């Protein structure tokens, strides 16, 4: 599946609901963004079960501002309407593939429980582990 251009009009409808959505916040003038773009596009073709969207931060500043995007490229991974990962930096193909695999493997019932549990340290540990599980390996 090719990438989808995300705008203020279609962003919420694209990232809400069930399924895996990857969002690349980028700009044409950004060198690392231009480097990451083909990697992101290739991954979109290899994972037709996920939605891959791109937000041009120059054309859609309100969307970038809503997520406090201050560095680009920034990759956001959303599954079942829950943001699992949001970090700036261009990733190599292997790290992106690792993130996608981990996001697909997560037990979303556990993630939801960890988010809604009131001050339960075990649940906080689960949420922390979910974030750690989706973090790319350090090279």
Scan for tokens 């090719």, then name that residue: 2
Given the residues 33, 75, 96, 100, select the one marked as catalytic.
Answer: 33
* Average pLDDT per 10 consecutive residues for the chain, totaling 139 residues: 89 92 97 96 95 97 95 96 95 97 94 77 49 51
- Domain with 91 in it: 4-134
At 38 the pLDDT is 96
33 given a catalytic annotation: yes
Q: Answer whether 0.85 is exceeded by the pTM.
A: no
Domain with 91 in it: what CATH number?
3.40.30.10
Q: Give every CB contact of residue 47 below 8 A, 6+ residues apart in sequence.
A: 1, 20, 100
Closest-CA residue to 36 (of 99, 91, 100): 91
Task: Give the CA angle between residues 19, 62, 102 to the nearest 5°.
Answer: 25
Catalytic residue among 20, 30, 95, 99: 30
Q: How many domains does the chain have?
A: 1
Q: Do the domain assignments include residue 139?
A: no
Q: Is 30 a catalytic residue?
A: yes
């Amino acid at each position: 599946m090719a990438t989808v251009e995300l705008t203020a009009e279609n962003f919420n409808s694209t990232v809400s609901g069930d399924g895996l959505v990857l969002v690349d916040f980028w700009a044409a003038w950004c060198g690392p963004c231009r480097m990451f773009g083909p990697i992101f596009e290739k991954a979109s073709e290899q994972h037709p079960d996920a939605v891959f969207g791109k937000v041009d931060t120059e054309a859609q500043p309100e969307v970038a501002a809503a997520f406090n995007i201050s560095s680009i490229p920034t990759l956001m991974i959303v599954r079942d309407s829950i943001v699992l990962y949001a970090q700036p930096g261009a990733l190599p193909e292997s790290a992106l593939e690792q993130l996608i695999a981990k996001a697909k493997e997560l037990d979303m019932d556990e993630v939801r429980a960890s988010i809604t549990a009131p001050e339960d340290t075990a649940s906080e540990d689960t949420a922390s582990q979910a974030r750690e599980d989706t973090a790319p390996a350090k090279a």
